[in-house]
């Protein structure tokens, strides 16, 4: 599921500003005030507006007179940082965004200008220094924040110390603070703002925030009518309704908690300078809510007693949420209460229904965290968080819940659990089953709003055979974290009798520990260690004693322990079990996907497509082991290696698995009862495309270059060398080439895919077609000035020789035509083989025997 993530570096341009910046800006403001015109020449607010202006008090006092809108900005807010969060309220039909979704957020501050004006600046500083150190001057001299807008001060209230500025023209303009970015506009094909069709709909002001709701209409560029929004085709314009929240950030930022890559929290950072440094340091800190005990309970909390937080985390449900799902969504939110109990807080997070008839509350108001329910065909949900860039404090979240996510979890559950749960064998699940699936998805997305990233390695902590142990599953579940992409227990076999509730993920050991680490009090510190050392000790002590607490990242490296959608600690074994269950399910799909006798085969098409995707997942879980590198982040005080190659035998077993399940046609998947009744690409060609994708990965320049690197780096252990790997692969693809050889249609496609990829490795410039271009780019990037191209040439030459040696005796017409075609392709790339030319032997028979034994 899509999520909104914040990077560990400088993804937030408005990362923490220097603590000494306020001092410097205050000096600037004082100088500007002195240089400005005599305050006596500026009229008072009442004198300027008269007594008939409408007024609303709040963060900014709002004045309306005729068609003009004014903000009263107190001097006390000058140089105070604010977060401006912009969201859609309504979007045009056909758009991929929905009301409640975030457009962007920026940190701003007001500053008194050199004349009778106020500056609105965008905070872009990413460095910090202690204001008492000399280097602080260098930090402040290095950058200047951009002035987004200048406002004339129309009037002053000298008694309260505040300035009146006119804002309606600014709000109605196409400015980068209150509208979409150029990239977002381009996605909508928007050009210029239509001012006469844009207006302010409403402005409301509250003690710590001001909310602006506006309508903006843009001219749009017309293009391909099949891809553009209906509004563009009908009118040439697009109208949007947008909300802007100006939120005053806390005067005292929350105390930061240092980031550790071994615990999966989102994080922000800034560069930190100091007089005593010999190297610039990076201050990285996690995103978390300001969850604090009440002062009278602080000692109890520190001593380990459960206390009620000063301000709990509250999530409201969008009133558009169907009533039947509300109890399950609230349960999914409240499930995190047990995690916060590990951090010392009771009732720390609460799910509630939206209050009816409360005029002081708005769904777009950034004071409130809301699960927004979108009437959308998208099969998705996501959990973002909005943070104070100075401290990482999570201020609020608007979870995005697309109605059709129900269809997604339905298909997952039918395909992954249908072999063991009879309730999964129909297109419309019972309310209780679907409700529990809704609860699981909700808990996962709420985890993101609490600051937790995906932990794709959590499922690796469970031994594969324990996934079939009902008692073990009841106690531990199939993954140690709900933040994993480990949907349901697809390894469990029908005879294992795993209970339905134990087939689903739940908030588990890692989640409880991560919340304790991020939100709980620091342990006693008799040795006077700094916070980072204390947190490091917590990580080392915990993970060394319990591997279920390991955070393995988000699957973006070459570590096969961290993968999406996988289960267990042995990919080959888990995938074999998964395929056994798919083989049980396939014959029943026509029956399970029928609701009425009058139905079309649309349901069958949809679920079969999901099943083919699941089968593909199993293959690629295994593929990642070949040339894989384990990556285990450690600090200097820990034992063990950070990097280690995947065991050689595991890689060989992975290749044997692929030979059995994809190099040989999976005929069980290609039943005429299904294929003759569906129209989607998920037909026989889908399996071919999967095979081609697997071959592209196996013969990718990245994988072979990495295997070369592993062989050269880890000389102290047995590794699966590129030569050995390519020998085994060649034997699997071409080992049966002899006088009696008859290649099936599928086999011929497999061999063509092998040759195309090998050519791309050797001569990227010779790769053909669109896929060939991709092959060329992948190979060019990784194989330049390596032995990979030399190795590829040796196998092309050997194949050319083997084809020539068998062509004269093969009688099967299509096989002979196939080999003649490949011979011609090889001649175009490497030329015709000369008599007596030497070849490099492509495989060692001993290795192929081992592979057969492993199968």
CA-CA distance, 326 to 322, in Å (whole number)?
A: 7
Element (H, E) at 333: helix 326-334
| Residue given tokens 């497999």 in the structure block | 750
The reported pLDDT for the residue numbered 153 is 97
209-227 in b/e form (b: 16+ CB < 10 A) is: bbbbbbbbbbbbeeeeeee
Lowest mean pLDDT segment, chosen from 1-5, 133-137, 351-355: 1-5
| Assigned domain for 333 exists | no
Give the count of domains, the chain: 2
Q: Nearest-CA neighbor of 31 among 112, 94, 98?
A: 112
Q: Which residues pair with 258 in a beta bridge?
A: 285
Spatial distance between the Cα atoms of 233 and 222, rounded to a whole number of angstroms: 7
C-alpha 796/C-alpha 749 separation (Å) is 17
Per-residue pLDDT tens over the stretch 389-420:
999 999 999 999 999 999 999 999 999 999 99
- Asked if 139 contacts 128 with a C-beta cutoff of 8 angstroms, the reply is yes
Rounded (10°) CA dihedral 45, 51, 52, 53: 20
Predicted pLDDT of residue 140: 81
- The mean of the pLDDT values for the chain is 88
**Residue 1 forms part of a structural domain:** no
pLDDT (0 to 100) of residue 779:
57
Average confidence (pLDDT) over 252-279: 93
For the cut 60, the answer to whether the pLDDT of residue 32 exceeds it is: no
Neighbours of 767 (CB within 10 A): 23
Highest mean pLDDT among 85-94, 493-502, 527-536 belongs to 493-502
pLDDT at 4 over 70: no
Q: Provide the domain limits for residue 108.
A: 21-247
In terms of Cβ atoms closer than 10 Å to its own Cβ (0-12, 13-18, 19+), residue 667 is exposed
- Of 10-19, 39-48, 757-766, 805-814, least confident by mean pLDDT is 10-19
CA–CA separation, 420 vs 370, rounded Å? 36
CA dist 127 and 339 (Å) reads 34
Residue 13 pLDDT greater than 60, yes or no: no
**Which pLDDT band, with edges at 50, 70 and 90, does 139 fall under?**
confident
Residue 123 pLDDT? 86
Nearest to 288 by CA among 209, 391, 406, 183: 391
Is residue 458 within 8 Å of 395, Cβ to Cβ? no
Report how far residue 216's alpha carbon sits from residue 33's, in angstroms, rounded to the nearest whole number.
Answer: 36
Whether the CB-CB separation of 122 and 107 falls below 8 Å is answered with yes
CB atoms within 10 A of CB 565: 21
Assess whether pLDDT exceeds 60 at residue 833. no
- Please spell the DSSP secondary structure of 672-705, one letter per residue: HHHHTT--SS-SHHHHHHHHHHHHHHHT-HHHHH
**What count of Cα atoms within 13 Å lies in the side-chain half-sphere of residue 280?**
12
Q: Residue 803: its pLDDT value, please?
A: 94
Lowest average pLDDT, out of 16-30, 174-188, 268-282, goes to: 16-30
Task: Give the end of a domain, one of 201, 219, 247.
Answer: 247
Greatest Cα pair distance, the chain, in angstroms, is 107
**What is the distance of C-alpha 20 from the center of its chain?**
35
The token pair that represents 136 in the structure block: 């602080």
How large is the average pLDDT for residues 109-128? Answer: 88
Please name which of 317, 506, 454, 440 lies closest in space to residue 4, comparing C-alpha atoms.
454
DSSP state of 43: P
Residue 779 located in a structural domain:
yes
CA nearest to 114, candidates 47, 30, 174? 30
Mean pLDDT, range 751-761, rounded to an integer: 93
What value does the CA radius of gyration of the chain take, rounded to a whole number of Å? 32
Distance between CA 396 and CA 4 in Å, rounded? 13
In three-state secondary structure terms, 10 is coil
- Tokens representing residue 771 in the block: 């896929």
Confidence of residue 9 (pLDDT cuts 50, 70, 90): very low
Provide the CB-side half-sphere exposure for 562 (13 A, CA): 19
DSSP 8-state code for residue 255: P
Token reading at 39: 């305050």
Predicted local distance difference test score (pLDDT) of residue 824: 94
With CA atoms as reference, report the closest residue to 447 among 458, 462, 460.
458
Is residue 460 within 8 Å of residue 561, measured between CB atoms?
yes
Mean pLDDT computed over 336-350: 98
Helices (DSSP H) in 699-744: which residue ranges?
701-713, 722-734
Q: Is 30 a residue whose pLDDT tops 60?
A: no
Parallel, antiparallel or unpaired: strands 61-65 and 68-74: antiparallel
Which two three-digit tokens encode residue 821?
Answer: 């075609």
Mean pLDDT of 606-623: 96
Cα–Cα distance measured from residue 162 to residue 70, given in angstroms and rounded to the nearest whole number: 12
C-alpha torsion angle, residues 631, 633, 638, 644 (rounded to 10) = 10
Mean pLDDT of the region 434-448: 98
H-run or E-run covering 87: strand 82-90
The pLDDT of residue 17 is above 90: no
Predicted pLDDT at 59: 94
Domain boundary among 195, 230, 247: 247
d(CA 489, CA 440) in angstroms, rounded, equals: 14
143 near 153, Cβ under 8 Å? no
Asked if residue 829 is part of any domain, the answer here is: yes
For residues 473, 475, 481 and 484, what is the CA-based torsion angle, rounded to 10 degrees? 10
pLDDT (average), residues 800-823: 92
Rounded average pLDDT over 801-818 = 91
Tokens of 201: 């709909």
pLDDT exceeds 60 at position 1: no
Q: Is residue 588 part of a domain?
A: no
Distance separating alpha carbons of residues 456 and 479, to the nearest angstrom: 10
Nearest of 110, 203, 179, 105 to residue 149 by alpha carbon: 110
In this predicted structure, what is the pLDDT of residue 126? 74
pTM equals 0.88
Percent of the chain scoring above 70 in pLDDT: 89
pLDDT tens per residue, range 693-710: 999 999 998 899 999 999
Distance, in Å, from the CA atom of 66 to the CA atom of 80, rounded to the nearest integer, reads 30
Helix (H, G, I), strand (E, B) or coil at 17: coil
Q: What pLDDT is stored for residue 771 in this prediction?
A: 55
DSSP notation for 511-553: HHHHHHHHHSPPPP-TT---HHHHHHHHHHHHHHH-GGG----
Of 349, 401, 452, whose CA–CA distance to 101 is shortest? 401
Distance CA 377, CA 402 (A): 7
Nearest to 106 by CA among 139, 138, 132, 81: 81
Q: Distance from CA of residue 696 to its chain's centroid?
A: 25
Residue 571 lies in a domain: no
**Count of residues for the chain?**
855
- How many Cβ atoms from other residues are within 10 Å of residue 774's Cβ? 13
For residues 108 and 121, is the Cβ–Cβ distance under 8 A? yes
Instruction: Give me the pLDDT at residue 125, please.
Output: 61
Within a domain: residue 772?
yes
Question: Does residue 58 lie within any of the structural domains?
Answer: yes
839 in Cβ contact with 798 (< 8 Å): yes
Q: How far is CA 105 from CA 163, 179, 211, 448, in A?
A: 25, 10, 14, 18
Show which of 195, 226, 247 is a domain's final residue.
247
Map tokens 């107190």 to a residue. 74
557-605 pLDDT, tens digit per residue, is 899 999 999 999 999 999 999 999 999 999 999 999 999 888 889 999 9
Instruction: Identify the pLDDT of residue 849.
Output: 34
Residues 6+ apart with CB under 8 A from 500: 417, 421, 423, 433, 436
Half-sphere exposure of 667 (CA within 13 A, CB side): 5
d(CA 527, CA 509): 29
CA distance 696 to 295: 61
pLDDT band at 193 (very low <50, low <70, confident <90, very high): very high
């Amino acid at each position: 599921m899509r999520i909104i993530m914040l990077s560990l570096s400088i993804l937030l341009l408005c990362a923490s500003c220097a603590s000494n910046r306020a001092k410097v800006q205050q000096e600037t403001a004082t100088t500007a005030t002195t240089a400005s015109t005599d305050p006596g020449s500026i009229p008072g607010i009442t004198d300027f507006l008269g007594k008939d202006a409408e007024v609303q008090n709040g963060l900014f006092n709002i004045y309306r007179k005729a068609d003009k809108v004014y903000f009263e900005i107190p001097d006390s807010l000058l140089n105070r940082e604010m977060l401006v969060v912009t969201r859609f309220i309504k979007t045009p039909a056909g758009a991929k965004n929905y009301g409640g979704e975030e457009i962007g957020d920026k940190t701003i501050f007001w500053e008194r200008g050199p004349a009778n004006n106020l500056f609105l600046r965008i905070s872009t500083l990413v460095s910090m220094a202690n204001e008492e150190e000399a280097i602080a001057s260098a930090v402040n001299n290095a950058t200047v924040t951009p002035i987004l807008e200048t406002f004339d001060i129309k009037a002053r209230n000298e008694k309260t110390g505040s300035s009146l500025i006119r804002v309606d023209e600014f709000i109605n303009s196409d400015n980068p603070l209150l509208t979409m970015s150029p990239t977002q506009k381009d996605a909508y094909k928007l050009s210029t703002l239509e001012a006469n069709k844009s207006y302010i709909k409403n402005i409301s002001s509250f003690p710590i925030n001001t909310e602006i709701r506006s309508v903006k209409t843009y001219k749009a560029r017309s293009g391909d009518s099949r891809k553009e929004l209906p509004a563009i085709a009908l009118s040439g314009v697009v109208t949007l309704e947008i909300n802007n929240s100006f939120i005053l950030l806390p005067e005292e930022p929350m105390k930061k908690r240092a980031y550790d890559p071994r615990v999966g929290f989102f994080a922000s950072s800034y560069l930190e300078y100091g007089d005593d440094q010999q190297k610039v340091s990076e201050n990285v800190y996690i995103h978390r809510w300001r969850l604090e005990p009440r002062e009278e309970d602080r000692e109890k909390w520190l001593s380990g007693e459960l206390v009620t937080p000063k301000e709990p985390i509250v999530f409201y449900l969008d009133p558009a949420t169907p009533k039947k799902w509300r109890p399950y969504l609230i349960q999914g939110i409240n499930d995190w209460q047990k995690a916060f109990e590990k951090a010392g807080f009771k009732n720390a997070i609460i799910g509630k229904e939206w209050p009816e008839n409360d005029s002081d509350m708005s769904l777009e108001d950034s004071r409130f965290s809301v699960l927004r329910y979108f009437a959308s065909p998208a099969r998705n949900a996501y959990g973002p968080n909005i943070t104070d860039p100075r401290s990482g404090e999570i201020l609020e979240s608007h979870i995005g819940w697309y109605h059709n996510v129900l269809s997604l979890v339905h298909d997952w559950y039918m395909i992954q659990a249908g072999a063991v749960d009879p309730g999964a064998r129909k297109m419309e699940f019972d309310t209780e089953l679907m409700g529990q699936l809704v609860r699981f998805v909700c808990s996962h997305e709420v985890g993101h709003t609490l600051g937790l990233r995906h932990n794709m390695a959590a499922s690796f902590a469970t031994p594969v055979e324990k996934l079939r142990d009902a008692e073990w599953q009841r106690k531990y579940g199939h993954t140690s974290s709900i933040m994993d992409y480990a949907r349901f227990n697809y390894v469990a076999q029908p005879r294992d009798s795993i209970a339905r509730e134990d087939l689903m993920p739940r908030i588990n050991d890692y989640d409880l520990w991560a919340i304790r680490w991020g939100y709980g009090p620091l342990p006693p510190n008799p040795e006077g260690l700094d916070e980072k050392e204390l947190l490091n000790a917590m990580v080392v002590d915990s993970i060394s004693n319990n591997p279920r607490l390991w955070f393995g990242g988000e699957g973006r490296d070459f570590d096969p322990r961290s993968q999406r959608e996988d289960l267990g600690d042995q990919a080959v074994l888990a995938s074999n079990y998964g395929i056994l269950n798919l083989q049980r399910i396939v014959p029943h799909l026509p029956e399970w996907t029928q609701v009425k006798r009058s139905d079309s085969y649309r349901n069958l098409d949809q679920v079969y497509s999901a099943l083919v995707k699941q089968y593909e997942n199993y293959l690629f879980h295994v593929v990642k082991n070949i040339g894989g590198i384990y990556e285990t982040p450690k600090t200097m005080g820990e034992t063990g290696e950070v990097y280690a190659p995947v065991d050689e035998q595991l890689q060989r077993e992975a290749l044997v698995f692929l030979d059995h399940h994809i190099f040989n046609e999976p005929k069980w998947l290609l039943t005429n009862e299904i294929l003759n009744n569906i129209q989607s690409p998920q037909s026989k060609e889908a399996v071919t495309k999967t095979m081609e994708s697997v071959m592209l990965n196996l013969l990718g320049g990245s994988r072979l270059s990495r295997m070369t690197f592993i062989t050269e780096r880890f000389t102290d252990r047995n590794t699966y060398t590129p030569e050995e790997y390519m020998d085994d692969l060649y034997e699997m693809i071409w080992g049966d080439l002899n006088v009696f050889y008859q290649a099936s249609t599928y086999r011929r496609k497999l061999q063509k895919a092998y040759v195309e990829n090998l050519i791309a490795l050797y001569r990227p410039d010779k790769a053909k077609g669109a896929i060939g271009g991709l092959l060329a780019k992948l190979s060019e990037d990784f194989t330049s000035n390596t032995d990979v191209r030399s190795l590829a040439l040796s196998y092309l030459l050997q194949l050319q020789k083997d084809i020539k040696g068998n062509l004269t005796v093969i009688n099967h017409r299509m096989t002979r035509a196939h080999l003649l075609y490949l011979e011609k392709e090889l001649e175009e790339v490497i030329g015709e083989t000369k008599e007596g030319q030497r070849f490099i032997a492509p495989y060692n028979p001993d290795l192929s025997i081992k592979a057969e034994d492993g199968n």
